[in-house]
Structure formats: C-alpha cells, structure tokens
C-alpha cells in the first residue's frame, strides 16, 4: 500500500506529498486493543516501529525487575544437569540478587526488542514471497512491533501469576482453563498456547491484511495463529 502511494505520483512525474500523519504515539498503544483496523490502515501509509519496540522492551525489563531474584535462581538451576545442580546452586547463591535481576532485565529487553525484527522477516517471507502480498518489510515490522503492546500486557499479568505460584514457567494460557487434565504432552501443549500471543496473532493478521490490499483478515490471522500453534507444539516437546 505504501508503494502504491509513492508509485502513483512517480508515474505522473511528480513528487509525492508527505505521507499522512500517524496517530499520536501513546494513542497508538490504546488503538492496538480498541481500534486495530483503524490504527493499521493509518500506519500502512506511514509505518514506524522503533519507538514502540523500545517502549515494549522497557516495559518488559521493568516487569522483570518486579519479580524476586529467587525465581530466576530456581529457573537457572532447573536448566542445569542434575549431577551439576548442587554445586551450581551453591555458587549462584553467593551472587547478589541484583546480578540475577540485571541479567533478567537485560536479556528480556534485548530479546523483546529483537523479536519483531526477526519475526517480521518470517512473516515477510510467508506473505510477500510465498503468498504474493503487496506490502513492505517496514509495514510488517510496524505491525509486529505494535502488537508487542499486547504481549507486554500479557507479561505483566503473567508476572502476577508467577509471583503467586512461585514458578516462572506459569502463564495465562489455554491450559489454564483445563487444570484437570493429566500430565502429558497434550497438557503441556495447551499450557504453551499463551492467550496473549494468540490475541497478538489475530491483531497482527488485521494489520498485515490492512497493509496488503485485497487480502482478508481471516486467512492472514489464520496463518499467524498456525505459527503460534506450531511453536507451542515444539515447546511442549521439550
């Protein structure tokens, strides 16, 4: 859509006028939840991603600071082979709490910031190279970065769940509604289906469809939901 906007003027030998103004920055954060269609139609002609990606990364880092260091220590020990866990736990116990929180904050901020950059490459390949959409990488990263506001809210709510349960792996997921299921692969799969990632996939489908004229929201969101499901299937296996 942005290319059509520019090319229509280039074909006439005229300089295109400045793109239309974007919705105000913090207003966009609200529109992601309440008016995603209007938001992404406006951003399709004038996409932006960096400021919102930084905001989401900072929010995520702040949430990591709220969580107690003991949870990060337990999570780190759980990843260590059992025969090395006791010695590693003794060494980690001597480290200041701020070290664990610092690593958690820095790692969360970095991963959260890079996530839309990497995921947008995947969506661009799927929808532009394979499906043939007429949209740009900048439009894709704009959409994915803005849906990060949804996952940031999910991270905040999940933090309360983790504080109450004392388990960093606990999240609000499809599996939350099926606590009666026996332990096993299917239960782990449902627990890996994060509700906020599913929500973000639907909103991203709205945004990517708005950036590609003629494409329907349902089919676009369906592909993105499928990506979330495949990711959950893989996570449940490990």
In 3-state terms the chain splits into helix, strand, coil percentages (rounded to 5) of 75, 0, 25
Confidence of residue 78 (pLDDT cuts 50, 70, 90): confident
What's residue 120's pLDDT? Answer: 98
Structural domains counted in the chain = 1
Residue 71 CA to residue 74 CA, distance in Å, equals: 5
CA-nearest of 151, 148, 172 to 160 is 172
Q: Is 17 inside any structural domain?
A: no
Q: Is 157 inside any structural domain?
A: yes
Pull the structure tokens for residue 31.
């529109």
What's residue 16's pLDDT? Answer: 65
Q: What one-character-per-residue DSSP string does 151-220 give? A: HHHHHHHHHHHHHHHT-TT---BGGGG-TTSPSSHHHHHHHHSBHHHHHHHHHHHHHHHHHSTT--HHHH
Residue 102 CA to residue 90 CA, distance in Å, equals: 19
Q: Across residues 8-36, what is the average pLDDT? A: 79
Q: Find out whether 211 and 1 touch, Cβ atoms under 8 Å.
A: yes
What's residue 9's pLDDT? Answer: 46
Query: Residue 217's domain spans which residues?
Result: 2-11+37-236
Residue 30 CA to residue 25 CA, distance in Å, equals: 9
Q: Find out whether 206 and 37 touch, Cβ atoms under 8 Å.
A: yes
What's residue 1's pLDDT? Answer: 57
State yes or no: pLDDT of 116 exceeds 60.
yes
Q: What secondary structure letter does DSSP report for 178?
A: -
Q: Rounded to 5 degrees, what angle do the CA atoms 66, 176, 68 make?
A: 15
State yes or no: pLDDT of 106 exceeds 70.
yes
- Round the average pLDDT of the chain to a whole number and report it: 88
CA-nearest of 19, 21, 40, 18 to 31 is 40
Q: Is 150 inside any structural domain?
A: yes
Confidence of residue 107 (pLDDT cuts 50, 70, 90): very high
pLDDT digits (tens, 9 = 90+) for 192-212: 999 999 999 999 999 999 999
Q: Is 29 inside any structural domain?
A: no
Q: Is 31 inside any structural domain?
A: no
Q: Is 24 inside any structural domain?
A: no
Which is more confidently placed, 13 or 74?
74
Q: Across residues 106-134, what is the average pLDDT? A: 96
Q: Is 160 inside any structural domain?
A: yes
Q: Across residues 210-237, what is the average pLDDT? A: 94
What's residue 2's pLDDT? Answer: 54
Q: Across residues 119-131, what is the average pLDDT? A: 97
Cα torsion at 119, 159, 221, 204 (round to 10°)? -60
What's residue 143's pLDDT? Answer: 98
What's residue 69's pLDDT? Answer: 78
CA-nearest of 166, 159, 165, 122 to 141 is 122
Q: Is 102 inside any structural domain?
A: yes
- Percent of the chain topping pLDDT 70: 91
Q: Across residues 22-51, what is the average pLDDT? A: 95
């Amino acid at each position: 859509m942005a290319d059509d906007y520019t090319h229509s003027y280039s074909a006439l030998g005229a300089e295109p006028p400045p793109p239309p103004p974007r919705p105000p920055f913090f207003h966009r954060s609200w529109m992601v939840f309440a008016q995603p269609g209007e938001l992404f139609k406006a951003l399709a002609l004038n996409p932006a991603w960096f400021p919102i990606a930084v905001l989401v990364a900072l929010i995520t880092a702040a949430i990591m600071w709220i969580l107690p260091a003991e949870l990060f220590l337990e999570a780190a020990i759980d990843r260590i082979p059992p025969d090395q866990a006791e010695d590693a736990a003794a060494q980690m116990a001597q480290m200041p709490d701020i070290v664990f929180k610092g690593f958690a904050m820095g790692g969360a901020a970095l991963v959260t910031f890079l996530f839309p950059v990497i995921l947008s490459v995947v969506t661009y390949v799927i929808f532009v190279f394979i499906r043939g959409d007429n949209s740009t990488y900048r439009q894709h990263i704009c959409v994915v970065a803005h849906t990060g506001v949804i996952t940031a809210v999910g991270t905040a709510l999940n933090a309360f769940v983790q504080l109450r349960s004392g388990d960093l792996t606990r999240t609000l997921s499809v599996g939350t509604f099926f606590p009666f299921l026996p332990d096993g692969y299917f239960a782990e799969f449902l627990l890996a289906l994060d509700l906020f990632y599913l929500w973000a996939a639907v909103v991203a489908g709205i945004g990517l469809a708005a950036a590609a004229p003629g494409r329907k929201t349902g089919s676009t969101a369906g592909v993105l939901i499928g990506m979330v499901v495949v990711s959950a299937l893989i996570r449940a296996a490990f």
